[in-house]
Chains A and B, each alone.
With several copies, the nearest count.
Chain A
Amino acid sequence: MVTKQDYNSTDPVAWCPGCGNFSILNSLKDALVELGLEPWQVVLVSGIGQAAKLPHYLKCNLFNGLHGRALPAAFGIKAVNHKLKVIVHGGDGDAYAEGGNHFVHAIRRNADLTYFVHDNQIYGLTKGQASPTTDPGMKTGTTPFGSYNEPEQPMAVAIALNASFVARAFAGDPVQLVKIMKSALLHRGFSFVDILQPCITFNKTNTYQWYKERVYKLEEDPGYDPRDRSVAFTRSLEWGDKIPTGIIYECDRPVYEDHSPVSKDISLCREKLVLPKLEDLLKAYF
């Protein structure tokens, strides 16, 4: 039986003490262990940023690629190596700024990947610049007079793109976080979780306290139906005094892997490379 210790990594953690990322890392380990996955069955894929360092901090296969480009790399990895559990971690800049286009199209593709965005509403690793989710008015290194662009609502955008699993979690509530992570990991298709993650060093507005005062759990509202797209959209816009957490939207959609006979049930990388004969290939050209 796999245990949490199995996931221990010897790599020294480079996050600031107190950072919200620690809880995400810990919750991920819990979720993986509870799902009975072993380190070698999992690939963590990431871009660049504080969040994107996570894969180094637990033992597992990892591909730590370029800022903003984790999703396409993850797609390539999963597409040919189906038995792997492919999990992507990134920051809000990684996901919604540099990687914004891949986010949109990964949702459209609906491959069986899980995407955890550590949303600290700031660029952490580069020392505090505005991100697409930075609240208006916030002063940062690159918005010295206050951020003015409309903050992106990742939940709403994902719903508009008909993502098959859309959830929000809060790093300050690891119990719910583990639960949501497990649901996301069990979901077949592209599952997306935006995790509110306090950056104690560069985001002095959206602190643990700030989030704590605002988050509430959708699962506690028995009337809420995450399968109603319109309802989910309206709820996804809620941001301010109250911020909903939990599974905001879910739908059944064909999964990427189901479309083609190739991607359905084989792991190409494990098959012996049998080369087609040149004669056969060239038949049409004689």
Chain B
Amino acid sequence: MINDAEIGIAGAAGQGMQTIAFTLGKTFACAGYFSYTYHDIMSRIRGGSNLSVLRIKNTPVSSISYHLDLLVALDFEGILKNKNIIKKPGLIIYDGEKIKLERGEAGLFSVPLERLALEAGKDKVTVNSVATGAVVALLNGEVAACCEVIRELFAGKSEEVIANNINAVKSGFEYAKKNMPAGAGLQIKPANLAAKSLFINGSDALALAAIASGLKFYAGYPMSPSTAVMEYVAAKANSFKIIYEQAEDEIAAINMVVGAAYSGVRAMTATSGGGFALMTEGISLAGMTETPVVIVLTQRPGPATGFPTRTEQADLNMALYSGHGEFAKVILAPGTAAECFIIISRAFNLAEKYQVPVIVLTDQCLNDSSYTLKFSDLEIEPVNRGQLGFVPAGEPYTYQRYSLKETGVSPRLVPGCEKQVVCEDSDEHTEAGHISESAELRKLMVQKRLGKLKAIAAEIRPPAYSGANEPEILLVSWGSTFGAVKEAVELLNEKGVKAAMLHFSEIWPLPELELPCNLAQIKNIIAVEGNATGQFGALFSVHTGVTPHKSILRFDGRPITAEYIITKV
């Protein structure tokens, strides 16, 4: 019995590796394991060489290892490209009737995928289901559970399609049961999950969390790897009374979102680096007009077009200093799909309480990966709309959008209230919202807008600390690397190394840190991040006065793994 299994599904774009990984992941999540998938994909629709990685574990997991116990290869290329990440002995499942192979270092197990698909599934397209069934067998899973997942996945398709796929799964399962090489099966020690789990990717989690937080307006422009957020909202817009619009470009999107927020609703957009760059003028607009907006920035490797379908954490500085001029903004960066819920709900609350733009930094790794979550772990902060008013008060036409208050936060009013008008202005302005050229007022207004940062900092959740109490090694990290760093710390601890992690999911404004350890006494503080210049490390050092002794960086478009960290510590 093992604790941990990793399965790769390789093939050309369009062959459905992601579906196989998802189906298997969900099957095992339902069976009480923790599963997690990561997709290593090229920017093309058909062809090329992609790899979906599924990890199944009996403890929480949200990273992969790039060491495969099992590789399902849907084409020859898939074997060629990935054979060096197969553990020894390891096993490759492939269709020996289509691909001719000589014995390699890993074990080979030919499953006649296409033949079984045609026979059992009545259609070549059920090849994926055959492969899925075979893997279930090899992992000693339950074929019935898998069929259930297939049924859900194909909900909306005809009964015939569903039946075909279920037959294909069963046929793959049975074939593998009967023919698998002796000792090839993997038996993962069960995890003791009491309640049923959810299996969900980061994009869906972000979109769902926004809907659960009262999203009422979404405008965006497609851009990998953020598009799934938009498509999710689009699909649900009517059921949840959300106005959703595909904009002509990102500039339109952000300005629509600012308009909707001025008009009184919770509004959001999502994009990636290039689109975000185009939005920065609009973010400055939100800063000046004090309009609460939420922008999800799903990072991918840059500069420019870069690697459209891969992962990186290199847009932190851009986000932090986005927009001309100086104004308060908030930057949050969920570590897992589960954390998207609390983060997104807080994003809307902070935006509305402080009337500032809030940027949620994610990346391809978080957005495209599926995570196993316990429902009880999910948290949505209760809605707090701050000083938003819906009914007019005071003498007619006396409302002032930017009335100067100690806190910097002026009461908002939804436009359209009887005998009051709401004036927002991108120029420097009076309390009433009209253009001003006064030096004195300018100073007050700058201080008003920037003054909010202090109060926001006091609300920022502290970083997550875990591991040894008086660590010799402290890994400092942020965002989607959470899983890999946590795993690295656990592995180091197991080896007897006193390591700990300090993980930031809320990045700016950084609060005063109250830590269980004394930073000054730690010999080896290491910033771990998915970029080339150590952006968070620098921010950390300005903020704490303690400069990390070292950085572990990755910037080849692939996610950081525990092993990647450990070999570089």
Contact = CB atoms under 8 A, between A and B. Distances in A.
B227 A127 contact: yes
A227 B510 CA distance: 60
Contacts, number: 272
B423 A101 contact: no
Contacts of A270: 264, 390, 414, 416
A55 B392 CA distance: 21
A77 B259 CA distance: 5
Contact of B265 (A53, A80, A127): A80
Nearest to A271: B241
Given A84-B415, A270-B414, A11 B434 contact: yes
B47 interface: yes
Nearest to B284: A66
Contact of A142 (B199, B230, B426): B230
B527 interface: no
A60 B419 CA distance: 9
B426 A269 contact: no
A44 B419 CA distance: 16
B212 A126 contact: no
Given A11-B434, A127-B227, A262-B238, A77 B263 contact: yes
Interface string B229-262: 0110011011011110111110111011111111
Contacts of A261: 238
A78 to B, nearest CB: 8
A23 B265 CA distance: 35
B435 A268 contact: no
A286 B223 CA distance: 28
Interface string A191-214: 000000000011000000000000
A139 to B, nearest CB: 10
A116 B498 CA distance: 62
A1 interface: no
A242 interface: no
Given A40-B418, A48-B305, A285-B204, A66 B43 contact: no
B274 interface: yes
B214 A72 contact: no
A86 to B, nearest CB: 9
Nearest to A142: B246
B424 interface: yes
Given A81-B416, A129-B227, A260 B47 contact: no
Given A72-B255, A142-B222, A282-B200, 20 more contacts: A14-B44, A14-B47, A39-B397, A40-B392, A40-B418, A48-B426, A61-B422, A64-B435, A65-B285, A77-B415, A105-B252, A126-B222, A142-B246, A260-B243, A267-B416, A268-B264, A269-B414, A273-B383, A278-B375, A285-B204
9 contacts: A11-B434, A16-B14, A40-B420, A62-B422, A63-B262, A65-B258, A79-B245, A81-B416, A102-B248
* 9 closest Cβ pairs, A-B complex: A76-B259, A269-B264, A73-B259, A76-B260, A72-B255, A16-B46, A105-B248, A76-B256, A14-B44
Interface of A: 11, 14-17, 38-41, 43, 45, 48, 50, 53, 55-56, 59-69, 71-81, 83-84, 97-98, 100-102, 104-105, 109, 123-127, 129-130, 132, 141-145, 201-202, 260-263, 266-271, 273, 275-276, 278-279, 281-282, 284-286
